[in-house]
Chains A and B, each alone.
Chain A
Amino acid sequence: MDLLALNPVALFATLILAATPLVLAALGELVVEKAGVLNLGVEGMMILGAITGFAAAVETGSPALGMAAGAAGGMALALLFGVMTQVLLSNQVATGLALTLFGLGLAALIGQPYTGIKPPPMPVLAVPGLSDLPVIGSMAFGYDPVVYLSFALIAAVWLFLGRTRPGLILRAIGENHDAAHALGYRVVAVRLAAIAFGGALAGLGGAYLSLVRVPQWTEGMTAGAGWIALAIVVFSGWRPWRVLLGAYVFGGVTILQLNFQALGLPVGAAWLSMTPYLVTILVLVAISADRTRTAIRAPASLGRPFAAMN
Chain B
Amino acid sequence: MRFLRPLALAVAALALTAGGAFAQAKDRIKVGFVYVGPVGDFGWSYQHDQGRKAIEAALGDKVETTYVESVPEGPDAERVIRQMASSGHDLIFTTSFGYMDQTVKVAKMFPDVKFEHATGYKREPNLATYSSRFYEGRHVIGLIAGRMTTSNVIGYIASYPIPEVVQGINAAYLAAKSVNPAVQFKIIYAYTWFDPAKEADAANALIEQGADIIMQHTDSTAPVTIAEEKGVLAFGQASDMTRFGPNVHLTSIVDDWDPYYVARAQAVLDGTWTSGDVWGGINTGMVKFAPLSTRIPEDVRKLAEDAIAAISAGSLHPFTGPLNRQDGTPWLAPGEIADDATLLGLNFYVEGIEGEVPK
**A-B interaction:** yes
Which A residues are in CB contact (< 8 Å) with B244?
Answer: 116, 216
Contact with A along B191-202 (1 / 0, CB 8 A): 110111110111
Whether the Cβ atoms of A254 and B358 lie closer than 8 Å is: no
Which A residues are in CB contact (< 8 Å) with B76?
Answer: none
Which A residues are in CB contact (< 8 Å) with B206?
Answer: 262
Q: Decide yes or no whether A255 CB sits under 8 A from chain B.
A: yes
Which B residues are in CB contact (< 8 Å) with A222?
Answer: 197
Complex Cα distance A258/B218, Å? Answer: 14
Q: Decide yes or no whether B40 CB sits under 8 A from chain A.
A: yes
Q: Decide yes or no whether B73 CB sits under 8 A from chain A.
A: no
Complex Cα distance A92/B159, Å? Answer: 36
Whether the Cβ atoms of B222 and A18 lie closer than 8 Å is: no
User: Can you name the residue of chain B whose Cβ is closest to the Cβ of A259?
Assistant: B205
Q: Which of B38, B188, B196 contacts A214 (CB 8 A)?
A: B196
**Chain A, range 231-258, C-beta contacts under 8 Å to B:** 254-255, 258
Complex Cα distance A209/B229, Å? Answer: 15
Complex Cα distance A225/B6, Å? Answer: 36
Contact with A along B304-344 (1 / 0, CB 8 A): 00000000000000000000000000000000000000000
Whether the Cβ atoms of A214 and B197 lie closer than 8 Å is: yes
- Contacts A10-B208, A264-B355 hold; do A220 and B201 have CB atoms under 8 A apart? no
Whether the Cβ atoms of A223 and B194 lie closer than 8 Å is: yes
Q: Decide yes or no whether A215 CB sits under 8 A from chain B.
A: yes
Whether the Cβ atoms of B205 and A258 lie closer than 8 Å is: yes
Whether the Cβ atoms of B38 and A220 lie closer than 8 Å is: yes
Q: Decide yes or no whether A263 CB sits under 8 A from chain B.
A: yes
Which B residues are in CB contact (< 8 Å) with A255?
Answer: 201, 205
Whether the Cβ atoms of B192 and A223 lie closer than 8 Å is: yes
Whether the Cβ atoms of A218 and B221 lie closer than 8 Å is: yes
Q: Decide yes or no whether B99 CB sits under 8 A from chain A.
A: no
Complex Cα distance A108/B226, Å? Answer: 22
Q: Decide yes or no whether B281 CB sits under 8 A from chain A.
A: no
Residue from B41, B191, B209, B228 having most chain A Cβ neighbours under 10 A:
B209
The segment out of A83-91, A139-147, A267-275 that lies at the interface is A267-275
Q: Decide yes or no whether A128 CB sits under 8 A from chain B.
A: no
Whether the Cβ atoms of B209 and A263 lie closer than 8 Å is: yes
Whether the Cβ atoms of A223 and B198 lie closer than 8 Å is: yes
Which B residues are in CB contact (< 8 Å) with A108?
Answer: 38, 40
- Contacts A14-B204, A258-B188, A269-B189 hold; do A223 and B40 have CB atoms under 8 A apart? no
Complex Cα distance A5/B222, Å? Answer: 25
User: Can you name the residue of chain A whose Cβ is closest to the Cβ of B37?
Assistant: A220
Q: Which of A118, A219, A225, A262 contacts B197 (CB 8 A)?
A: A225
Whether the Cβ atoms of A258 and B201 lie closer than 8 Å is: yes
Complex Cα distance A264/B195, Å? Answer: 22
Q: Decide yes or no whether B274 CB sits under 8 A from chain A.
A: no
Contact with A along B9-49 (1 / 0, CB 8 A): 00000000000000000000000000001111110000000
User: Can you name the residue of chain A whose Cβ is closest to the Cβ of B242?
Assistant: A116
Q: Decide yes or no whether A288 CB sits under 8 A from chain B.
A: no
Chain B nearest CB: distance from A248 CB in Å? Answer: 14
Which B residues are in CB contact (< 8 Å) with A112?
Answer: 40
Whether the Cβ atoms of A213 and B200 lie closer than 8 Å is: yes
User: Can you name the residue of chain B whose Cβ is closest to the Cβ of A264?
Assistant: B355
Complex Cα distance A221/B40, Å? Answer: 10
Whether the Cβ atoms of B208 and A116 lie closer than 8 Å is: no
Complex Cα distance A304/B199, Å? Answer: 39
Complex Cα distance A163/B133, Å? Answer: 63
- Contacts A262-B188, A270-B191 hold; do A218 and B201 have CB atoms under 8 A apart? no
Q: Which of B42, B186, B191, B243 contacts A218 (CB 8 A)?
A: B42
**A-to-B contact residues, CB < 8 Å:** 5, 7, 10-11, 14, 17-18, 21, 104, 108, 111-112, 115-116, 118, 209, 213-216, 218-225, 254-255, 258-259, 261-264, 266, 268-270, 273
**B-to-A contact residues, CB < 8 Å:** 37-42, 70, 155, 186-192, 194-198, 200-202, 204-206, 208-209, 220-222, 225-226, 228-229, 243-244, 354-356, 358
Given pairs A116-B243, A269-B189, 19 additional interface contacts (CB within 8 A): A17-B201, A18-B201, A104-B70, A118-B228, A214-B196, A216-B221, A216-B225, A216-B244, A218-B221, A219-B39, A220-B41, A221-B220, A258-B188, A258-B202, A258-B205, A259-B208, A262-B205, A269-B191, A273-B191
5 contacts between A and B (CB under 8 A): A214-B226, A216-B196, A216-B225, A223-B196, A262-B209
